[in-house]
Amino acid sequence: MPEGDTVYRTAANLHTALAGHRLTGCDIRVPRFAAVDLTGERVDSVVSRGKHLLIRIGTCTIHSHLKMEGTWHLYAPGGRWRRPAHQARIVLRTAERIAVGFSLGQLNVVGTDEEDDIVGHLGPDLLGDDWDPGRASAAVASDPALPIAVALLDQRNLAGIGNVYANEVCFVSGIHPASPVSAVGGVSDIVTLARRMLRANAGRVQRCTTGDLRRGHEVWVYGRVGQPCRRCGTPISEGELAIDALTSRVTYWCSRCQPAP
C-alpha cells in the first residue's frame, strides 16, 4: 500500500533517473491533459510531498497521487513493461530512461507556481525538509475528541501517514486506535515514533515496523486479524473507524496490549 515512504522512495528514484535530462517524449493519457507535450524540456527535479509526487519541468509541474493501486516504473528504452500498456496514464522518455506511471489515482499538470493549490493544505511532511514536530503535534492534538488513528491519518496535521502506519504506531504506543486524542498522553512521542518508522523504511522496498525482515514478520498488527499478537498471543482484532460521512478505515489492534477506550 503506497504511503509516504513509498512515494519518497519513488520520487528519489525518478529524480536520479530524470533530473537534468531533456524529455524526448511526453505522452499524458488523461483527456484533460492529453494535449500537453513537454518534449524538449529539461526535468528540473522530482520531489515528494507527503503522498503526493511532483515532477518539475520548466514552468510546469506534473502532479500525481498513487492512491491504492498506482505506481511508477523505470525502464531502459525498449525494455518490456511489467504492467499492461492500457494501465499507463503517463509516459516520459529521455535518451536513457522511460518513466511510466501506471494506474495513478490522480494525475494533472499545473504551473510550478501553482503547486500550493494542490499540496498547500498539507501539514509538515514526515520525510520532508519542512518537518516541524511541534507544529505536527499541535495539529494532531487540536481536536481532542477525534480518535487518535483518524488524527494521524489527517494529512492536514502531518503528511505521509497511511493506514499501515496509523495502526502500527498505535500498537507500538500501546494505544487503541479509537482512543480519543484527549485520552492519549504524549502526542509528541507518537508523532516522533511515526517519523522514525517512516524514516526507517524510506530507503527499502520491504516495509517493516517490527525490526524483523523475515517474510510474514514485518508488521505488528496490520492485516493480521485473528493471528496471535507478537507480544502476548491474544488474537488481533479488526474494526472500522469513520473518517468522515463517506470514508472509513480498517483498524487492527490487540485487545490486551491496547485496551479499548
What's the one-letter identity of residue 90? I
Active site annotation includes 3:
yes
Nearest to 152 by CA among 121, 144, 172, 165: 165
What's the one-letter identity of residue 156? R
> pLDDT band at 256, cuts 50/70/90?
very high
Q: Is pLDDT of 17 > 70? A: yes
Q: How far is 116 from 120, CA to CA, in rounded Å?
A: 4
The C-alpha angle 23, 33, 108, rounded to 5 degrees, equals 85
Active site annotation includes 67:
no
**Which one from 41, 49, 51, 115 is the annotated catalytic residue?**
51
**Which one from 49, 93, 224, 249 is the annotated catalytic residue?**
249
pLDDT at 126 (0 to 100)? 97
Q: Is pLDDT of 254 > 70? A: yes
Q: Cell numbers at residue 66, please?
A: 498513487
User: What SS3 class is residue 65?
Assistant: strand
What's the one-letter identity of residue 129? D
Q: Is pLDDT of 74 > 80? A: yes
CATH of domain 133-254: 1.10.8.50
Q: Residues spanned by CATH 3.20.190.10 within the chain?
A: 4-119
What's the one-letter identity of residue 32? R
Query: What's the burial of 59, exposed, middle or buried (CB within 10 Å: 0-12/13-18/19+)?
Result: exposed
pLDDT at 194 (0 to 100)? 97
Q: Residues spanned by CATH 1.10.8.50 within the chain?
A: 133-254
Q: What's the number of CA atoms in the CB half-sphere (13 Å) around residue 159?
A: 23
Asked whether 237 and 252 are in contact (CB, 8 A), the reply is: yes
23 forms beta bridges with: none
Active site annotation includes 249:
yes
Q: Cell numbers at residue 95, please?
A: 535518451
Q: Is pLDDT of 247 > 90? A: no
Q: How far is 178 from 167, CA to CA, in rounded Å?
A: 10
CATH superfamily to which 4-119 belongs: MutM-like, N-terminal (3.20.190.10)
The continuous run of DSSP H or E covering 242 comes out as strand 236-242
Read off the pLDDT of each residue in 36-43 and give the average, rounded to a whole number: 98
Q: Is pLDDT of 1 > 80? A: no
pLDDT at 243 (0 to 100)? 86
The gap from C-alpha 5 to its chain's centroid, in whole angstroms, comes to 6
Asked whether 121 and 36 are in contact (CB, 8 A), the reply is: no
Q: What is the mean pLDDT of the chain?
A: 96
Q: What is the tens place of the pLDDT at every residue in 184-212?
A: 989 999 999 999 999 999 999 899 999 99
The continuous run of DSSP H or E covering 189 comes out as helix 187-201
DSSP string, 95-130: SS-EEEEES-SEEEEEEGGGTHHHHTT---BTTSTT
Q: Is pLDDT of 111 > 80? A: yes
> pLDDT band at 84, cuts 50/70/90?
very high
pLDDT at 8 (0 to 100)? 97
User: What SS3 class is residue 252?
Assistant: strand
Q: How many CB atoms lie within 10 A of CB 27?
A: 15
Query: What's the burial of 213, exposed, middle or buried (CB within 10 Å: 0-12/13-18/19+)?
Result: exposed
Q: How far is 196 from 165, CA to CA, in rounded Å?
A: 11
Q: What is the tens place of the pLDDT at every residue in 44-63?
A: 999 999 999 999 999 999 99
Q: How far is 184 from 173, CA to CA, in rounded Å?
A: 10
Q: What is the tens place of the pLDDT at every residue in 116-162?
A: 999 999 999 999 999 999 999 999 999 999 999 999 999 999 999 99
